Amino acid sequence: MQLPNYLKPGILVKRYKRFLADIDFNGELVTVHCPNPGSMIGLSSPGLRVWCSLSNDRKRKYPYTLEIIQVGETLVGINTLLPNKIVKEALLNKKIPSLSEYSEIYSEFKFEKGTRFDFLLKQKKLSPVIIEVKNVHMCRTKSSKYKIAEFPDSITTRGSKHLLELSKAVSQGYRAIMLYVIQRGDCKKFSIADDIDPVYAKNFHLSQKNGVEVQVWVCDISIKEIKLSHQIFFN
């Protein structure tokens, strides 16, 4: 998906209160919106180069939104609102081979009371597909040659619930997919961070036994565009 025409470069001063960050724009200190509820391990160190979008809504308290952080030579997308848009664009353009036969795409599918999934796909003579999308940006690997992306970067009760509900969907005849979008291009493998959230890890492995599929996609990222690039394996 295309990013706004111009992303303003700056330097991260600090990230705080989960959804706020102070950015140095060439000597001007500005507080921006940080659209990421996670811990952002490895992505919140002062001095990192960042890029921010500017909202057209001038009434917003924080007009700028933090979009991309550079770690070493790698650009990392931190906006957790983007993966759904990235995946929908890929679905519409038939960029996910295992789902290219589906022509009906519905967003925010209400599965049961209190449970919504990101997408429902339908096609005559094929089982309906439920997709839940998760954003991934954490990488704790120190080696520059063999990097592993991990999820989650903080405890996610909601994420665990989604895994259990996906298992339930399989039992009701749906094809269910947990789709992880890695908003960075330097990782070769993916793993569940069981040391951060052991409950999520347990439910992840249980959901696989119950028939939930897992797809992990790496993104191509620039300051102009973020799009799905290729699948990778997971541990």
Say if residues 50 and 23 touch (Cβ distance below 8 Å): yes
For residue 128, what are the contacts with CB-CB under 8 A and spacing of at least 6?
Answer: 120, 121, 122, 173, 174, 175
**pLDDT tens readout for residues 98-124:** 999 999 999 999 998 888 999 999 999
Which residue type occupies 62?
Y
The class (CATH top level) of 82-234 is alpha beta
d(CA 173, CA 42): 40
d(CA 141, CA 133): 23
Q: What is the pLDDT of residue 114?
A: 83
Domain spans, the chain? 8-77, 82-234
Cis omega (within 30 of 0) for bond into 152: yes
Beta strand ranges found along the chain (DSSP E): 8-16, 20-25, 28-33, 49-54, 64-71, 74-77, 104-112, 115-122, 129-136, 138-139, 148-151, 175-182, 189-192, 213-221, 226-231, 233-234
**pLDDT tens readout for residues 28-72:** 999 999 999 999 999 999 999 999 999 988 789 999 999 999 999
CATH T-level fold of 8-77: OB fold (Dihydrolipoamide Acetyltransferase, E2P) (2.40.50)
d(CA 129, CA 127): 6
For residue 99, what are the contacts with CB-CB under 8 A and spacing of at least 6?
Answer: 91, 121, 129
Of residues 22, 28, 30, the one with CA closest to residue 48: 22
**pLDDT tens readout for residues 167-198:** 999 999 999 999 999 999 999 999 999 999 99
The tokens describing 194, both together, are 């069981």
